[in-house]
Amino acid sequence: MGPVARASGRPPAPAGFTLVEVLVVLVILALAAGAAALALPGNDRDRAVREARRFAGALEHAAARAQVRAETLGASADGDAWRFWRRDPDSGRWVPVGDDDVLAARALPPPLTVAPLHYAGQPVDAGTILPLRPTGRNEPFAFVLGAGDARYVLAADPLNRIAVAPAAPP
């Protein structure tokens, strides 16, 4: 035995790591793995579904707000973003909704795109504002959102429910 062991009267401590040290390292590794997983962008299908559900929720919120506040709102999409509008009662012109975070304009991450598909059974052009009336009696409408083969249709029924479904192949 060495001189230290004889002086203190006990043998030297075995070399190794304590349980606390091992747990701290595992927690750090788990946090790093979680951050890395969140940083990965995912695939186009996952992004398209997530954005379609977000847009569907915003459309339902806008329809409910139009009824509660007795105002005419509208929704438009122009390829890489969607936006909500409010019809000014004095001028009759459409102005962007700026007082509601849910209805704030949303730019889509590339390569996602969004466009109106139809309103009242008729095709519509990109950028057309589709109205949401204060009476709650809206014409059926649809938007298409996606990237490549991952395309989803957001279809509104007369009761302002939005269904998200995969788009039919072209």
Among residues of the chain, what percentage have pLDDT more than 90? 66
Q: What's the pLDDT at 81?
A: 97
Q: Which domains does the chain have, with CATH numbers?
A: 44-166 (3.55.40.10)
SS3 116: strand
How many C-beta atoms surround the C-beta of residue 3 within 10 A?
7
Count of positions (residues) in the chain: 170
As a whole number of angstroms, the distance between CA 75 and CA 96 comes to 10
pTM for the full predicted model: 0.75
pLDDT at 38 over 70: no
pLDDT at 42: 63
Give me the residues paired with residue 96 across strands.
Answer: 85
Per-residue pLDDT, averaged over 65-71, amounts to 95
Query: Mean pLDDT over residues 163-169, rounded?
Result: 90
Q: Which pLDDT value is given to residue 10?
A: 73
H-state helical runs in the chain: 3-8, 19-39, 44-69
pLDDT at 3: 53
Q: Provide the mean pLDDT of the chain.
A: 89
40-65 pLDDT per residue, tens: 556 888 999 999 999 999 999 999 99
Residue-level pLDDT at 149: 85
pLDDT tens digits, one per residue of 88-97: 999 999 999 9
Beta bridge partners of 153: 144, 165
| Cα-only R_g, the chain | 28
- Classify residue 132 as exposed, middle or buried by CB count within 10 Å of its CB (0-12, 13-18, 19+): buried
For residue 58, count other CB atoms closer than 10 A to its CB: 19
